[in-house]
A and B are shown apart, each in its own frame.
Chain A
C-alpha cells in the first residue's frame, strides 16, 4: 500500500481549505502564506502553493492587489472575496463533520 499517495491526497484536500482559512485572518502575500503552511508542515514543496492560489483566484474565491514593499519590488497581496468567505464557511462545516465522523469510527 502506497501511504505516501494517501497522505498526499489528504494534504491536498485540506490545503485549499487552509489557504482560505489563513486569508480569513487577514490579507497576506504568498510568502506569508507559505511560512504559515510550513510551520504546520502542511506543505512539502513551496511550488504547490502557486497553482492553487491562481486557481482559487480564477474561481472567484480570492482577489489580489499590488502593494509597495520597503524591500524589493511590489508584492501581490491576496484577500478573500465574499464568495471565498462563503466557501470557507461551507468547508468549515464539512471539516467538522468529517472530524466527527473519523473520530467516531476510530473510537468505536
Chain B
C-alpha cells in the first residue's frame, strides 16, 4: 500500500505517490529559483512549463494506472530537461550543477559543527568531514600547538574561513548526506528519537543494508580506494599550500615585529626588521607607503596560498568570484607602487654630506679650564631603537632622536684651543645637502673657565634615515692645564676612554697635553706626593 496525494497542476488534478510528488516539487522549486530573477516573465515561464507537465502526465494515466509514480516524474523531467540544460551558453552554472546532482555525488562539505563544539566546532566539523572521531583531531590540534603554535594559527584560520552549519541542510552536507526532503525528515526524526529514547544504535539498519552482495561491495571498495587516492593527492597539494603559506605568514609577521632570528645566520639581514629594511628604499615621507606596499606585495600571495590550500583540502566553494580579481589587482598595484617609489627615491639617494665647524675656546685669562658634559635631554625615559648598527634614543616627549657624539682629544697644532664639530649625514640627495646638515643640532658653550658640551645631538624623529653622526675634536695647546669632568668619559672614543677613564682615571685631575697624550700636570703630581 502506498500513500497518494491529490495535486493540482496546470489546471488539472492528479493522484500522485508521495515520492513522485517530492521529486516533482523539488524540480519545480529549482525552476522557480532559476527563473525568479526574471520576475513576472519568470513566473509565466514556470506556469507554461507546469502546463506542459500536466499534459505529459495526462498521457501516462491509464484506466489501470491512476496514480502518478516516481518513474513517471523522472521520465517527464528527462523530457523537459534540467534547469542547467536550459542554459544554452554551454557553461553550466556550478550552483545548479551542484544541486542537480545531489543524488549521485558525495557532496560532503566542511562546516563547523555547532552541536558538538568545544571552541568553534572546527574539530567536530573536521571529524564529520573525514568520518573520524573528533577526539583525534582535537589531540592533533593540541599536539600542533607545541610546534611553535602552528595549531593555534591553523585553528583560528579555519574558524574564520569555514562557515558554521546553520540549517539542517548544511548539517546534512557536513555529514555528506544528500539534501532532500526525506533525508531532512530522517535527520530531524533521528535527532528526535535520539533525544526521546537516548538510544545510540540507530545506525544498525543502515549497517544491515550495506551487507547485500559480496561482489558488489568488492567493486564498491575498489572504487572507494581510487577515490581515496585521488582525494589524498588533492589533499596533499592543499596541505602543502596551507603549510607553506602559514610558514611564510609567520615569517612575515615575525619580520614585521622585529624577530629576526628565524633567518638564522643570514648575515646581511641579521638584526634587520622589515620596517628597517624598507629604510633602504626610501628616505622621505614615502616611508610608510613603501612599507605598506612591500607588506602587501609579500602578504597577498601568502594569503592566497593559505586560502587556496584550505579551499582545496575542504572542497569549499566560494560564491565570491571577485575576490581573486581583487587580490590580483591589489597585488599589481602594490608592486607598481613599490617599484615606483623605490625608483623615485633611489635617484635621490646615496649622497653623503659632511660639515665641519671649528671654534676657538678662550684660554688666555684662565690658567685652568674645566671641560664637562651636560645632559641636554629633558626627558628621562627614552626608548633605545637600533637600526642596523645605529642606536637612537627616542624621546616621545619632544619626538626627537638623541644620539651621543664621539669626542677625540688631540694636541693643538698652534697655541689656540679649539673645539670642532663635524656633522655627517647619509642617504640624502645632492639638492639641499647643507639644509640636511642643519637638521642635526649640537650645542656647546663656554662660561668663563668652564666649557660645557651637550651629551647628545638631536634630530627630528622622522630624520633617522640620515643616520646622522657627529665627531667632536678638542684641540688642546701644550701649556694649557685642563680638568676633565667624569661626564666627559661618556663621549670619549673607545681607546681614549680606556686610557683616561678606566685604570688610573685622569678625570678630576689637572692634566696637560704632551707628546704622549694627556698626562697629570707636574704641580699636581708634586702635591699628591706631598700628601703621601
Contacts and interface: CB of A to CB of B under 8 A. Distances in A.
Contacts of A4: 90
Contact of B85 (A31, A34, A47): A47
Contacts, number: 69
Of B10, B48, B85, B89, which is in contact with the most chain A CB atoms at under 10 Å from its CB? B48
Contacts of A83: none
B164 to A, nearest CB: 36
B11 interface: yes
B12 A72 contact: yes
A40 to B, nearest CB: 17
Given A54-B45, A76-B51, A47 B86 contact: yes
A9 B11 contact: no
A47 B90 contact: no
Contacts of B51: 30, 73, 76
A70 interface: no
Interface residues of B, number: 26
A45 interface: yes
Given A8-B88, A8-B89, A47-B85, 20 more contacts: A9-B88, A31-B55, A45-B81, A45-B85, A45-B86, A46-B79, A47-B31, A47-B80, A47-B83, A48-B85, A48-B86, A50-B48, A51-B86, A53-B48, A72-B12, A72-B58, A73-B11, A73-B51, A73-B54, A76-B48
A33 to B, nearest CB: 11
B88 A31 contact: no
A61 to B, nearest CB: 14
B81 A44 contact: yes
Nearest to A9: B90
Interface residues of A, number: 25
A85 interface: no
A57 to B, nearest CB: 8
Nearest to B76: A46
Interface in B18-72: 31, 35, 41, 44-45, 48-49, 51-52, 54-55, 58
Contacts of B41: 54-55, 58
Nearest to B83: A47
A42 B10 CA distance: 26
A31 B89 CA distance: 24
A39 interface: no
Interface in A66-108: 72-74, 76
B interface majority secondary structure: helix
A2 B91 CA distance: 11
Interface of B: 10-12, 31, 35, 41, 44-45, 48-49, 51-52, 54-55, 58, 79-83, 85-86, 88-91
B503 to A, nearest CB: 90
A46 B51 CA distance: 12
Contact of A72 (B11, B31, B82, B86): B11
A9 B10 CA distance: 31
Given A30-B51, A73-B12, A47 B81 contact: yes
8 contacts: A2-B90, A9-B90, A45-B80, A45-B86, A46-B80, A58-B41, A73-B51, A76-B48
A36 interface: no
Contact of B88 (A12, A46, A72, A74): A12
Given A51-B35, A51-B45, A11 B80 contact: no
B44 A54 contact: yes
Nearest to A34: B52
Contact of A45 (B79, B89, B90): B79
Contacts of A46: 52, 79-81
A51 B88 CA distance: 11
Nearest to A15: B88
A20 B15 CA distance: 37
Interface in A19-66: 30-31, 34, 44-48, 50-51, 53-55, 58
A72 B8 CA distance: 13
A47 B55 CA distance: 14
A12 B83 CA distance: 16
A44 B81 CA distance: 8
A74 B86 CA distance: 26
